[in-house]
């Protein structure tokens, strides 16, 4: 996986999953941001992999998206974790 210096492979994986779940729920980035209580640019940055959420934000995302936390993070289950961690 190629990523810019402003993103991480882990961030891109999580961001892709976040976008996928958000779109399945029919939510805009702005609507999700309002439900979670964060600025819309933060949602955009998470989806692009430029920002990685803390645990509290992941929990809030799961509540807002009406999904289990696992739905947001199970993308890592089939990933070689050492290969995506920053050196």
Binned average pLDDT, 10 residues per bin, the chain of 87 residues: 61 96 98 98 96 96 98 93 83
pLDDT of residue 83: 87
Query: Are the CB atoms for 17 and 45 separated by under 8 Å?
Result: no
Tell me the whole-structure pTM to 2 decimals.
0.88
| Structural domains of the chain in order of their starting residue, each with its CATH number | 9-70 (1.10.260.40)
State the Cα angle at 44 between 68 and 23, rounded to 5°: 50
């Amino acid at each position: 996986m190629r990523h810019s210096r402003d993103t991480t492979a882990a961030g891109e994986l999580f961001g892709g999953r976040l976008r996928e779940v958000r779109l399945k729920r029919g939510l805009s980035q702005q609507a999700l941001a309002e439900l979670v209580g964060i600025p819309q640019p933060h949602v955009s940055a998470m989806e692009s992999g430029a920002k990685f959420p803390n645990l509290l934000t992941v929990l809030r995302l799961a509540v807002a998206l009406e999904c289990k936390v696992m739905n947001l993070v199970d993308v890592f289950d089939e990933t070689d974790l050492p290969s995506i961690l920053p050196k």
